[in-house]
Amino acid sequence: MRAARLIKMVLLLQSRPSMTGAELARELEVSERTVTRDALALSEAGVPVYSDRGRSGGYRLVGGYRTRLTGLARGEAEALFLSGLPNALREMGLEDAASAARLKVSAALLPSLRGASDSAAQRFHLDAPGWYKEPQTPELLPAVAEAVWDDRTVVARYRRQDTEVERELAPYGLVLKAGVWYLCARVGTSFRVYRIDRFTEITLSQERFERDESFDLPAFWDERAAQFTRSILRTEVVLRLSPEGLRQLPHLTDRASAREAAEAAGPPDGDGWTTLTLPVESADVAFTQLLAFGPELEVVEPAELRARFADSAERTARLYR
């Protein structure tokens, strides 16, 4: 533990001209007294750590000292590729590995380039969850992430409707979609997708599975996401849309289905409106989605949905009279 802290202290001082005791204590998560003891230990070991006293004092390395302790461990290198996703790293339990990797890279850079990571962090940031949603971190996510990194099989119990099911999984990859974590895993010879917040228990095996190197996580996820979207669009509605309504259609409903419906539609009528058939999840979901179009859309079929829109329009009109 102390050896790792001493190495980190050297790397911190190598990456910056000087650091105060308070700054080092904050970075190392120790007291300033511990920083003083660690600096003395480094000096006794031959590392030229120099301390300046006074208000502008601090610790620095003398004579352009450079350590070669910058080799990345495998876990640190893997975490480095995720360093633009700080919240995801924290949720998976990889924040410390990514921090160590960034520090080692910073220490190895030329002085003129050491601000590159901070510069990029102030210009690009990914906020994955959707608006108006409080993201919930699944309790078992770190255990699942550990299994994914180590290619270790797991025995998982998860909720499926009103029952719990147990499966042995080969966890291939994690996906964060709109603030929800999913696991892509092999079960037997097939691949499946599981919501991690539905896992109730995870037991990591000591055995490692042999990963299929041809497995492409982004391609697999895109295919399954498209299949899922198609599978839930079980109902069709016939709509008549104004030019503005037709323009809004891909932004307020499923984009692929909207595009296909518009391409299959006939030419606009004399008023410039287009009639098309759109796949939707259900009449209730369609009612909620299509209300956003206001007067730019008319529901033609089914009759029940058209009646709901007519009733909603009448009640809204009464409110504004």
pLDDT digits (tens, 9 = 90+) for 259-270: 999 999 999 999
Res 81: pLDDT: 46
CA neighbours closer than 13 Å in the CB half-sphere of residue 20 = 7
* Single-letter residue type at 54: G
Query: Can you tell me the distance from the alpha carbon of 300 to that of 309, in angstroms, rounded to the nearest whole number?
Result: 10
Buried b / exposed e over 69-106, threshold 16 CB at 10 Å, is ebebeebbeebbeebebebbbebbebbebbbbbbbbbb
CB 100 within 8 A of CB 85: no
Report the C-alpha gap between 289 and 292 in whole angstroms: 6
What are the pLDDT digits (tens) for 112-145?
Answer: 444 555 544 455 555 666 666 666 778 898 899 8
Say whether the peptide bond before residue 302 is cis (omega within 30 degrees of 0). Answer: yes
In the prediction, which pLDDT does 80 show? 47
What token pair was written down for 201? 């228990």
**pLDDT, tens only, 210-258:** 988 889 998 999 888 888 877 888 899 999 999 999 999 998 888 888 9
Q: Encode burial over 126-151: b for 16+ CB neighbours within 10 A, e otherwise.
A: eeeeeeeeeeebbebbbbbbbbbbee
Q: In the chain, where does DSSP find H-type helix?
A: 2-15, 21-28, 32-44, 74-80, 86-92, 95-108, 116-121, 141-150, 217-232, 243-252, 255-264, 283-290, 303-320
pLDDT at residue 27 tops 80? yes
287-313, pLDDT tens digit by residue?
999 999 999 999 999 999 999 999 999
CB 31 within 8 A of CB 78: no
Closest CA to 293 of 229, 236, 247: 247
pLDDT at 85: 56
Q: What tokens does 65 get? A: 């000292």
Q: Is the Cβ–Cβ distance between 101 and 83 less than 8 Å? A: yes
By the 8 A CB rule, do 196 and 140 touch? yes
